[in-house]
Structure 1
Amino acid sequence: MATLNVSIAFLFLVGGTCQALRWLSKRLLSPGARGCLARELAGSLQLCTSCLELRMLMEIGPWGGGFGLDVVLTLLFLLFAVHGASFDGGSANPTVCVQEFLLLESSLAATAAKLLAQAVGTGLGWAVTKLFWSWELSQLHFIQNLISSECSSSIRTALPHAAFVEGTCSFLFHLVLLKARHSHPIWGVPALAATATFLTYTAGPFTGAFFNPALATATTFHCSGNSFWDYVQVYWLGPLTGMFTALLLYQGNIPRLFQKNLLYSQKSKYKVPKAKVTAHLEGDEPQQKRKGGKSKPEPRA
């Protein structure tokens, strides 16, 4: 339990620091692009450090710490819920930024700036977590510090299957995200957290279940076992394809590319029977004539 307490304390410290960064950005920066960039950087830093620490607990904890997978999954759900409630409009996920661009909710310059902030945030999160592991405050962190320099690839299946797994995870995540955008946060945040936890548990043994290109880049691209292009196919092209498919299925079109709805016909919500419309028009014609007759009386001889 001492190891678990150290990890929880580290996660609380990182979350508090990122929340303070968001508060400062609201106080000191304009509510425009700079504030958005600060939120993306803080969210990516928080997400990267949390996921790296939890991956360590999932891989070493069962045999080195004596606690089961249920503890890690509970922490994972709570962290995803905290992230969803505290990100303050940030996504910390490049596929979400691209989705906003395709939905005409963000310009090309703003999207590029967000992606850059996410890259800086995840890189900083990886460096902070490595520094924390180097302090070796617990037995698990001592083991993790020894093996972190020789990490292996998270792809544990055939390359096409791995890309399909990441794409499917992204597809399901974005479907829930698109639905949650129009619901109250009290329902949307737990739904997203439960979806992310389920996908991580289900697809984790195959690819690590990142469905986040920035997080995957900081976590596994430097590991041996696969080439850079293999990682690009699985962790970049797979999630982007899943996001694009989810958006097309949900919207029926891609607003940035074309306006025509390819999947769903646009029908009026209310239907008026044609017979009633015809009768109404025929009944109005004599009334109009009568009103016209009253307004223009014939002159007397």
Structure 2
Amino acid sequence: MAGLNVSFAFFALVVGVCQVLRWLSKRLLSPAVYECLARELAGSLQLCMSFLELRMLMEIGLWGGGFGPDVILTLLFLLFLVHGASSDGAFANPAVSLQEFLLCESNLAATAAKLLAQAVGMGTGWAATKLYWSWELTHFHVIQNLIAAECSSSIHTSLHHAAFVESICSFLFHLVLLKLHQSHPICWTPALAVTVTFLTYTAGPFTGAFFNPALATATTFHCSGNTLWDYIQVYWLGPLAGMLAALLLCQGNVPRLFQKNLLYSQKSKYKIPKARVVAHVEEPQQKKKGERNNSKPQA
């Protein structure tokens, strides 16, 4: 239990440091630079460090700590709940940034800046977590350091099935996001946390259920068992395909590429009552009759 308390303290420290980073960046930088760079970097740093520690608990804690999957799933839900509440709108997910670009909510320069910030944040988070593990504050970290050099791939099924699983997870995640993102964060933050927890519980044994290209790159790309192209197909192309499918289902098209709705017919939401149409038609006719009567010579 002492090891779990150290992990709780680590989670709290990471969130606190990233909150200070957001606060300072918002005060010192322009709103555009903050939204595209600093906010995404802080969100990616927080997500990567917290998820790596949680993944370590998932792999080692089940047999080395004596706690069951219910503890891990509860921690996973709380992790994404806190991330959604504290990230100030940064999802730290390249697929979400590309979705915003395809929806014309972000231009090319801002999208490129977000992707760069996410890559830097994930890389920094991976390096910082490795340094923290090297201190070996708990027996979990000791075991993690022993097995770190021989980590295995998170893909535990065929390549095509793994890519399909990641695309389905991404599809469901982005579907919930598209449906609820315009609502208040109090509504969509717990909904996304529940969605991520459910998808991880369901698809985790097959691929780890990342559906986040940057997070998967920092977490599992360095492990042996699959080639780089295998990882790209599963953890990059799979989530992007799922995002596009969710976008097409919700919008009927990709606004950045097509103006015409490809799936749904354009129908007016409002119907004009027939009585009003008849009234508008008869009114000009009555005026014309009145003008004819007035134009006749009077006896």
TM-score (norm. length: structure 2): 0.95
Q: CA deviation at 1:16?
A: 0.5
1:18 equivalent in structure 2: 18
Q: Deviations over 1:102-157 (max 9, x none)?
A: 00111111111111110000001111111111111111111111111211111110
2:142 equivalent in structure 1: 142
Q: Deviations over 1:261-298 (max 9, x none)?
A: 111112112212446513441144314654x589x898
Which has the higher mean CA deviation after the structures are superposed, 183-192 or 155-164? 183-192
Which amino acid letter does the alignment assign opposite residue 203 of structure 1?
A: A
Asked if residue 109 in structure 1 is aligned to residue 109 in structure 2, the reply is: yes
Q: d(CA) in 1 for partners of 2:234 and 2:159?
A: 7
Q: Is the 8 A contact 2:49 2:129 kept in 1?
A: yes
Q: CA deviation at 1:186?
A: 1.4
Rate the CA distance shift 1:98–1:223 in 2: closer, same or farther, 3 A: same
Asked if residue 53 in structure 1 is aligned to residue 53 in structure 2, the reply is: yes
Q: d(CA) in 2 for partners of 1:254 and 1:40?
A: 24
2:286 equivalent in structure 1: 286
1:126 equivalent in structure 2: 126
Q: d(CA) in 2 for partners of 1:289 and 1:13?
A: 84
1:195 equivalent in structure 2: 195
Rate the CA distance shift 1:175–1:230 in 2: closer, same or farther, 3 A: same
Q: CA deviation at 1:214?
A: 0.4
1:8 equivalent in structure 2: 8
1:184 equivalent in structure 2: 184
Which has the higher mean CA deviation after the structures are superposed, 161-170 or 108-117? 108-117
Q: Which runs of 5+ in 1 are unaligned?
A: none
Q: d(CA) in 2 for partners of 1:57 and 1:240?
A: 28
Q: Deviations over 1:10-50 (max 9, x none)?
A: 01100110011100110000001344200000000000111
Report sequence identity in percent.
75
Q: d(CA) in 2 for partners of 1:31 and 1:184?
A: 21
Q: Is the 8 A contact 1:25 1:35 kept in 2?
A: no
TM-score (norm. length: structure 1): 0.94
Which amino acid letter does the alignment assign opposite residue 168 of structure 1?
A: I
Q: Deviations over 1:173-224 (max 9, x none)?
A: 0000001112221111110000011111111111111100001111111110
Rate the CA distance shift 1:199–1:16 in 2: closer, same or farther, 3 A: same
Q: d(CA) in 2 for partners of 1:99 and 1:129?
A: 29
Structural RMSD (CA)? 1.9
Which amino acid letter does the alignment assign opposite residue 237 of structure 1?
A: L
Q: d(CA) in 2 for partners of 1:47 and 1:53?
A: 10
Q: d(CA) in 2 for partners of 1:112 and 1:38?
A: 13
SS at match of 2:31: coil
1:236 equivalent in structure 2: 236
Q: Is the 8 A contact 1:150 1:223 kept in 2?
A: yes
Asked if residue 72 in structure 1 is aligned to residue 72 in structure 2, the reply is: yes
1:223 equivalent in structure 2: 223
Q: d(CA) in 2 for partners of 1:159 and 1:35?
A: 36
1:43 equivalent in structure 2: 43
Which amino acid letter does the alignment assign opposite residue 115 of structure 2?
A: L
Q: d(CA) in 2 for partners of 1:288 and 1:175?
A: 56
Rate the CA distance shift 1:33–1:293 in 2: closer, same or farther, 3 A: farther
Q: Is the 8 A contact 1:36 1:90 kept in 2?
A: no
Which amino acid letter does the alignment assign opposite residue 243 of structure 1?
A: M
Asked if residue 254 in structure 1 is aligned to residue 251 in structure 2, the reply is: no
Q: Is the 8 A contact 1:29 1:35 kept in 2?
A: no
Q: Is the 8 A contact 2:36 2:111 kept in 1?
A: no
1:208 equivalent in structure 2: 208
Q: Which runs of 5+ in 2 are unaligned?
A: none
SS at match of 2:261: coil
1:169 equivalent in structure 2: 169
Q: Is the 8 A contact 1:162 1:207 kept in 2?
A: yes
SS at match of 1:16: helix
Q: CA deviation at 1:248?
A: 0.6
Q: d(CA) in 2 for partners of 1:104 and 1:35?
A: 16
Which amino acid letter does the alignment assign opposite residue 152 of structure 1?
A: S
Q: d(CA) in 2 for partners of 1:254 and 1:54?
A: 36
1:99 equivalent in structure 2: 99
SS at match of 2:57: helix
SS at match of 2:223: coil
